[in-house]
Amino acid sequence: MSAIESVLVENRVFPPSEATIKAARISGMPAYEALCKEAERDFEGFWARLARENLQWTRPFTKTLDESNAPFYKWFEDGELNASANCLDRHIGTPVENKTAIVFESDDGQVSRVTYKELLARVGQFANALKAQGIRKGDRVIIYMPMGVEGVVAMQACARIGATHSVVFGGFSAKSIHERVIDAGAVAVVTANYQLRGGKEMGLKAIVDEALAMGGCDSVKTVFVYMRTPTACNMVAGRDKTFDEVLKGQPTECKPEPVGAEHPLFILYTSGSTGKPKGVQHSTGGYLLWSKLTMDWTFDLKPQDLFWCTADIGWITGHSYVAYGPLAAGATQLIFEGIPTYPHSGRFWQMIEKHKVSIFYTAPTAIRSLIKAAETDAKVHPKNWDLTSLRILGTVGEPINPEAWMWYYRNVGGERCPIVDTFWQTETGGHVITPLPGATPLVPGSCTLPLPGIMAAIVDEAGHDIPNGSGGMLVIKRPWPSMIRTIWGDPERFRKSYFPEEMGGRIYLAGDGAVRDAKTGYFRITGRIDDVLNVSGHRLGTMEIESALVSKTDLVAEAAVVGRPDDLTGEAVCAFVVLKRPRPTGEEAKKIANELRNWVAKEIGPIAKPKDIRFGENLPKTRSGKIMRRLLRSIAKGEKITQDVTTLENPAILDQLSETN
């Protein structure tokens, strides 16, 4: 694409076709605007109506929103419901009961199916197994599972008995599990012996064993082990039990436990500005309403759709758009165990053709890497497969560059499918700013407009509105049902992180910079404004990586981590390190850099490995001793230094820190 074309790209507008508008649930901009007006006119009435229409309540709520203890907002508080009943039981006795709920494709291409009725039975049976091990309403259960039906069953079974789950992504380290077990006070861990990815068998249970051996995990009484492969794994007598063992003799029927709407459905840990991940606590009622509602709004779900969200259940996307939303909406969804590049980089396109996927939702990073693969090997280009089943495409997790958007639109969507660029966060529970496929004219690289009832705005540090066309901080001025309720065990951190005093303490601060188009008011996200990085759509804290590096006490004296733009992964991790020994160069520097990368992988997970590691005799600091991060960001990007560096004690280190290893 020429430079001129790529500049023009941002001004291109792709309105939905007349046919798409006509067939859509939210049909055209006037329908979207009417919903926005309804929310403005009668905010509580709007949400109450949707909560009654979209969820089944065992006890109806009488009060919609309680703001008396803001920012600890409460929604539908005196109502009672069960999340699993709202995903499964609600379909029994309807035509959905015999519909396929999940099409599962394994790493090696084997396909299996479960209907809603069968899924309900499996969830009921596992719920009974949890109860038989003494797990009760309010208990916390860690889930460390591969992608598959069993992971969803485990989540749904917890929800069924009112236990709060906390899923840990299968790529996270033993130390991460250990931290989460302790922070959540978990009573059980659900895991598998191995996971299969890219033809390789990778241990999960061994990592759980290592985590639980780190001490302080006495709260964990049971480890449930799903035998994904025939390979044996270590089993601790009295503590560890295979799925077969615990399911044996358990009835498939299990009455769902009604819980209050505010009951914590799950805790999901995510990175923040400090070294310690935050346990984002979500509710049952408001959260579930959102995942169901956005299936209808954002994905315009129809009964005949085949929905495929490629996210892992270890991330919020896999919670809202794999484990809960599609089931609550009665969709048939595809779950994939493997990776997009195995056995070849056309796997996604091949699977879309094979299963006739109609709604496809993935991350810009995946698209960018598949573009690269298709450009180097024509055999894996999407044109080799019949993708005409597709009708809606989506992206999530990071900004999508207009070039990648155009490629996706043309080569995957055949210039026929709207792309919903969904902006949201672990904390928002579901989409908050996104196009609607049958209404919003699309602009590549823009997440366009807030959903009805989401009072998104761009403000300055004091919370004052910034006019369209200028950049500022993204906020949401009114609460919404699926918002984070607190940080597990740390309400003060919740308040401080998201509801700054300077803005009045009631407005949600997203942590992203954004700008609205002067004419259309469309939002464009410009990236995080805090010490959080987004690498391949994965969220990482710079402080977390710094703590991991300095915990290598025999080697590292000091470390500073910043992000720099990367064509493939969006952002890349760049670490500046001072060693406890003379500054290494050449081969030695490469060797130590690799050692440190592996160390970070072991401490946090492979996704946190720094791409660049640079060594200096010290780090650039201000007179008061603060690390000059802005300067480091410039160095990481290879920019010319324009900052004032006259205060630096040792200006020579700037050259040292520019050398990559």
Binding residues: 197-200, 317, 397-399, 421-426, 512, 528, 536, 539, 550, 556
Q: Is 336 in the site for ligand WT7 (CB under 6 A)?
A: no
- In this complex, which beta carbon is closest to ligand WT7, that of residue 445 or of residue 453? 445
CB of 646 to ligand WT7, least distance (A): 34
Can you read off the two tokens belonging to residue 23?
């067939």
Q: Which stretch binds ligand WT7 (CB under 6 A): 117-125, 391-399, 436-444, 632-640?
A: 391-399
C-alpha to C-alpha distance for 295 and 416, rounded to whole angstroms: 20
Number of helices and strands in the chain (H, E): 21, 30
C-alpha to C-alpha distance for 289 and 278, rounded to whole angstroms: 23
- In this complex, which beta carbon is closest to ligand WT7, that of residue 168 or of residue 657? 168
Annotated binding site for Mg(2+): 550, 556
Smallest Cα–Cα separation from 261: which of 127, 60, 91?
Answer: 60
DSSP bridge pairs for 613: 575
| Site string (347-386) toward ligand WT7, x via CB under 6 A | ----------------------------------------
Q: Which stretch binds ligand WT7 (CB under 6 A): 47-55, 312-320, 326-334, 634-642?
A: 312-320
- Cβ atoms 632, 607 nearer than 8 A: no
- In this complex, which beta carbon is closest to ligand WT7, that of residue 246 or of residue 608? 608
CB of 612 to ligand WT7, least distance (A): 21
CB atoms closer than 10 angstroms to residue 562? 26
- Cβ atoms 181, 142 nearer than 8 A: yes
Q: Is 447 in the site for ligand WT7 (CB under 6 A)?
A: yes
Among 164, 422, 440, 542, binds ligand WT7 (CB under 6 A): 422
The residue count for binding ligand WT7 (CB under 6 A) is 22
Q: Is the peptide bond before 303 cis (omega within 30 degrees of 0)?
A: no
- In this complex, which beta carbon is closest to ligand WT7, that of residue 316 or of residue 635? 316
| Run of H or E residues at 472 | strand 471-476
Helix axes 285-297, 43-54, angle to 10 degrees: 80
CB of 430 to ligand WT7, least distance (A): 9
Q: Is 544 in the site for ligand WT7 (CB under 6 A)?
A: no
The three-state secondary structure class of 182 is helix
C-alpha to C-alpha distance for 611 and 593, rounded to whole angstroms: 10
Q: Is 337 in the site for ligand WT7 (CB under 6 A)?
A: no
Residue 378: φ, ψ to 5°: -60, -20
Annotated binding site for ATP: 397-399, 421-426, 512, 528, 539
Annotated binding site for CoA: 197-200, 317, 536
Q: Is 77 in the site for ligand WT7 (CB under 6 A)?
A: no
The angle at the Cα of 591, spanning 587 to 592, to the nearest 5 degrees, equals: 120
Among 156, 425, 448, 497, binds ligand WT7 (CB under 6 A): 425
Q: Is 396 in the site for ligand WT7 (CB under 6 A)?
A: yes
Q: Is 424 in the site for ligand WT7 (CB under 6 A)?
A: yes
Q: Is 446 in the site for ligand WT7 (CB under 6 A)?
A: no
- In this complex, which beta carbon is closest to ligand WT7, that of residue 210 or of residue 566? 566
Q: Which stretch binds ligand WT7 (CB under 6 A): 59-67, 136-144, 159-167, 421-429?
A: 421-429
| Run of H or E residues at 372 | helix 364-376
Q: Is 512 in the site for ligand WT7 (CB under 6 A)?
A: yes
Among 48, 316, 339, 572, binds ligand WT7 (CB under 6 A): 316
Q: Is 317 in the site for ligand WT7 (CB under 6 A)?
A: yes
Tracing tokens 């980089």 back to the chain, one arrives at: 345
Site for ligand WT7 in 518-537 (CB under 6 A): 525, 528, 534
Q: What is the DSSP string of 230-270?
A: S------TTTEEEHHHHHTT--S--PPPPEETTS--EEEEE
CA-to-CA dists, residue 59 to 259, 260, 261, 266, 423, angstroms? 10, 9, 10, 21, 33
Q: What is the DSSP string of 539-586?
A: EEEHHHHHHHHHT-TTTEEEEEEEEEEETTTEEEEEEEEEESSSPP-H
Q: Is 399 in the site for ligand WT7 (CB under 6 A)?
A: yes
Q: Is 116 in the site for ligand WT7 (CB under 6 A)?
A: no
Site for ligand WT7 in 188-227 (CB under 6 A): none
C-alpha to C-alpha distance for 32 and 51, rounded to whole angstroms: 18
Among 144, 297, 405, 423, binds ligand WT7 (CB under 6 A): 423
- Cβ atoms 381, 373 nearer than 8 A: no
Sign, CA dihedral 624-626-630-633, equals positive
Q: Which stretch binds ligand WT7 (CB under 6 A): 37-45, 122-130, 424-432, 585-593?
A: 424-432
- In this complex, which beta carbon is closest to ligand WT7, that of residue 64 or of residue 271? 271
Q: Which stretch binds ligand WT7 (CB under 6 A): 134-142, 158-166, 310-318, 548-556?
A: 310-318
Q: Is 398 in the site for ligand WT7 (CB under 6 A)?
A: yes
- In this complex, which beta carbon is closest to ligand WT7, that of residue 447 or of residue 600? 447
Q: Is 318 in the site for ligand WT7 (CB under 6 A)?
A: no
Q: Which stretch binds ligand WT7 (CB under 6 A): 185-193, 288-296, 384-392, 509-517?
A: 509-517
C-alpha to C-alpha distance for 74 and 262, rounded to whole angstroms: 7
Q: Is 412 in the site for ligand WT7 (CB under 6 A)?
A: no
Smallest Cα–Cα separation from 227: which of 161, 165, 148?
Answer: 148
Binding region for ligand WT7 (CB under 6 A): 270, 315-317, 396-399, 421-426, 447, 510-512, 525, 528, 534, 539
